[in-house]
C-alpha cells in the first residue's frame, strides 16, 4: 500500500470521526483546566490530584458527551 493511500485512509477516518475527536480534545482541555483552577490541594483525590489523570478523565467524558450527538447508523437489509 502506498503512502498516498494510507494518507487518504487516515483522512477519511478523521472526517468520519471528527465529532468524537473534537470531544476528546475539548474534554482534555477542560479536564486540565479543572486541575489547574480547582484541583485537589491535599493530593488525595484520585482524579484531580495529577494533571494527567484530570486530562484523561476529561477526554473520556468529552468523547462520551460529544458522541451523544452523532447520527445513528441505519442498517440496510
Question: What is the tens place of the pLDDT at every residue in 22-56?
Answer: 999 999 999 999 999 988 878 788 888 889 999 99
Supply the pTM of this predicted model.
Answer: 0.78
By C-alpha distance, which of 25, 11, 33 is closest to 63?
25
pLDDT band at 1 (very low <50, low <70, confident <90, very high): low
Domain boundaries, the chain: 19-67
71 pLDDT more than 80: no
Quote the pLDDT of residue 24. Answer: 94
Residues 6-18: what's their mean pLDDT? 86
Helices (H) and strands (E) in the chain, counts: 3, 0
Amino acid at each position: 500500500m502506498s503512502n498516498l493511500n494510507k494518507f487518504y485512509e487516515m483522512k477519511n477516518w478523521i472526517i468520519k470521526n471528527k465529532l468524537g475527536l473534537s470531544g476528546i480534545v475539548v474534554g482534555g482541555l477542560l479536564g486540565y483546566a479543572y486541575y489547574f483552577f480547582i484541583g485537589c490541594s491535599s493530593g488525595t483525590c484520585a482524579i484531580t490530584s495529577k494533571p494527567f489523570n484530570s486530562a484523561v478523565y476529561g477526554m473520556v467524558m468529552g468523547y462520551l458527551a460529544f458522541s451523544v450527538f452523532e447520527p445513528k447508523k441505519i442498517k440496510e437489509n
